[in-house]
């Protein structure tokens, strides 16, 4: 795999405050990446730095091994061949859909341009909309046109700045999959910015979790969920609660739910107090168990229930139980541990 984008110790700041701190990551050709984090974490600023809209105060950004940004120098966005899809789509209201898509194509015959536009309209499933004006279209259609417009000049890299956040929640995941399919079909390398993890999971191959301007983990969705590298990642991705425990030896931790086996980081010595991440799918109701949790809240989700349980120590854990395991509020459920991945953090 060839490296397309390299972010090398980049910091970005304005007006005396640093928004992005010493970020490094690389994105290979054909891979779809994602910058995921709460609002205000600096992810959009980092994306705009990649696009060339924000200068970096330290570090370098490389595209195809060629420096495009370094402290004190920025290649302007129009010379980077980096496409961008904006949160509000930013379609040009005075141009038709076809003219919008053709806007960035240059140095080609008008026939080639027309063909490219037709091809893209086909690709996004709007073949008959070339002559329409943007305001006549629905949000989802506008969004696909914004993607097609950014793809039209065949950019080296496509950046997407929260492109689904203006959409209805029910539509987001579907649209994210649809756009992903389009990008994969054209073998486009892309970077998405979002604060919605489901969107990130549906869209990206690799996800960077960002908090307070720092990249905490740059990994697959599966690893972020099951092997979070930092407490913030564990909290931010998926649901779960921390349970206190004590390290017994190199592969065992004792908690009030019982002894859990798994890999223990070297920093944690036997006898050390630790926090154990308990995901809702790590605990199962089991009628032969002697450990109980009292139901303090329950949410019916069709195929399953999500219970909030209070343990003897007053600590809370979540439990995802099959739908037929229907317990009442206040009832005590016998519990069994079902850990596949042990995630612990030293206290």
Partner 1 sequence: MRTAPVSLQGWFSSSRLKRPDAWSLGVPLIAAILALPVLVIFGHVFIPASDVWLHLRQTVLQDYVTNSLILMAGVGVGVLLIGIPTAWLVSMCDFPGRRLFEWALLLPLAMPAYIIAYTYTGMLDFAGPVQTQLREWTGWGWGDYWFPQIRSLPGAIIMLSLVLYPYVYLLSRAAFLEQSVCVLEVSRTLGAGPWAGFHRVALPLARPAIITGLSLALMETLADYGTVQYFGIPTFTTGIFRTWFGLGDPGAAAQLAGVMMTFVLVLIVLERYSRRRARFHHTSGRYSRLPRYRLRGWAVSGAIMVCALPIILGFLVPSGQLLQWALRTPHMWMQPEFLGLVWNSVSLAGIAAVLAVALALVLAYGKRLRPSLPVNGAVRIAGMGYAIPGTVIAVGVMLPFAWIDNTIDGWMRDAFGISTGLILSGTLVALVFSYCVRFLAVSLQTVEAGLAKIKPSMDDAARSLGTPPRQVLGKIHIPIMRGSLLTALLLVFVDVLKELPATLILRPFNFNTLAVRAFELASDERLADSASAALAIVLAGIIPVILISRTISRSRPGHDTPA
Q: Contact residues for partner 1 (CB under 8 A)?
A: 14-15, 19, 39-45, 48, 51, 53-55, 74, 76-84, 86-94, 103-104, 106, 146, 149-150, 152-153, 159
Smallest distance, partner 1 to C-beta of residue 104, A: 3
248 CB contacts (<8 Å, ≥6 apart)?
Answer: 254, 259, 270
Smallest distance, partner 1 to C-beta of residue 225, A: 24
Indicate the residue among 161 and 275 with the shorter CB distance to partner 1: 161
Total length of the chain: 347
Cβ pair 114, 120 in contact under 8 A: no
Indicate the residue among 104 and 334 with the shorter CB distance to partner 1: 104
Smallest distance, partner 1 to C-beta of residue 196, A: 13
Q: Which of 49, 58, 47 is nearest to 22 (CA)?
A: 58
Indicate the residue among 85 and 277 with the shorter CB distance to partner 1: 85
Indicate the residue among 156 and 341 with the shorter CB distance to partner 1: 156
Smallest distance, partner 1 to C-beta of residue 39, A: 5
Smallest distance, partner 1 to C-beta of residue 102, A: 10
Indicate the residue among 152 and 216 with the shorter CB distance to partner 1: 152
Other Cβ atoms less than 10 A from the Cβ of 306: the count is 15
Indicate the residue among 89 and 225 with the shorter CB distance to partner 1: 89
Smallest distance, partner 1 to C-beta of residue 124, A: 17
Smallest distance, partner 1 to C-beta of residue 81, A: 8
Indicate the residue among 149 and 172 with the shorter CB distance to partner 1: 149
Smallest distance, partner 1 to C-beta of residue 127, A: 22
- Three-class DSSP labels, the chain: CCEEEEEEEEEEEECCEEEEEEEEEEEECCCEEEEECCCCCCHHHHHHHHHCCCCCCEEEEEECCEEEEECCEECCHHHCCEEEECCCCCCCCCCCHHHHHHCCCCCCCHHHHHHHHHHHHHHCCCCCCCCCCHHHCCHHHHHHHHHHHHHCCCCCEEEEECCCCCCCHHHHHHHHHHHHHHHHHCCCCEEEEECCHHHHHHHCCEEEEEECCEEEEEECHHHHHHCCCCHHHHHHCCCCEEEEEEEEECCEEEECCEEEECCCCCCCCCCCEEEEEECHHHEEECCCCCEEEEEEEEEECCCEEEEEEECCCCCEEEEEEECCCCCCCCCEEEEEECCCCCCEEEC
Indicate the residue among 159 and 237 with the shorter CB distance to partner 1: 159
Indicate the residue among 39 and 314 with the shorter CB distance to partner 1: 39
Give 14's strand partners: 17
Smallest distance, partner 1 to C-beta of residue 337, A: 39
């Amino acid at each position: 795999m060839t490296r397309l984008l390299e972010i090398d110790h980049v910091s970005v700041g304005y007006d005396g405050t640093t928004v992005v701190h010493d970020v490094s990551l690389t994105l290979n050709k054909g891979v779809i990446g994602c910058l995921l984090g709460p609002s205000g974490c600096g992810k959009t600023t980092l994306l705009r730095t990649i696009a060339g809209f924000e200068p970096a105060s330290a570090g370098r950004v490389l595209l195809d091994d060629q420096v495009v940004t370094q402290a004190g120098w920025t290649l302007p966005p129009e010379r980077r061949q980096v496409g961008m899809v904006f949160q509000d789509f930013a379609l040009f209201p005075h141009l038709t859909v076809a003219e919008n898509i053709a806007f960035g194509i240059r140095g080609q015959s008008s026939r080639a341009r027309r063909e490219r536009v037709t091809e893209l309209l086909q690709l996004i499933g709007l073949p008959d909309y070339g002559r329409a004006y943007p305001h006549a279209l629905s949000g989802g259609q506008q969004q696909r046109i914004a993607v097609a417009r950014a793809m039209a000049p065949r950019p080296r890299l496509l950046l997407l700045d929260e492109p689904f956040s203006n959409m209805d929640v029910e539509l987001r995941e579907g649209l994210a999959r649809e756009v992903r399919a389009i990008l994969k079909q054209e073998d486009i390398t892309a970077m998405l910015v979002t604060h919605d993890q489901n969107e990130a999971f549906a869209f990206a191959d690799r996800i960077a979790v960002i908090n307070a301007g720092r990249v905490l983990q740059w990994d697959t969705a599966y690893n972020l969920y099951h092997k979070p590298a930092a407490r913030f990642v564990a909290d931010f991705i998926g649901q779960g609660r921390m349970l206190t425990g004590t390290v017994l030896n190199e592969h065992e931790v004792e908690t009030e739910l019982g002894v859990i086996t798994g890999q223990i980081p070297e920093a944690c010595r036997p006898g050390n107090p630790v926090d154990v991440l308990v995901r809702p799918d790590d605990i199962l109701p089991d009628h032969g168990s002697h450990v109980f949790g009292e139901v303090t809240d329950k949410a019916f989700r069709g195929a399953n229930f999500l219970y909030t349980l209070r343990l003897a120590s007053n600590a809370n854990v979540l439990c995802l139980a099959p739908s037929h395991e229907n317990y009442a509020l206040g009832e005590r459920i016998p519990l069994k541990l079902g850990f596949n991945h042990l995630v612990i953090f030293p206290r």
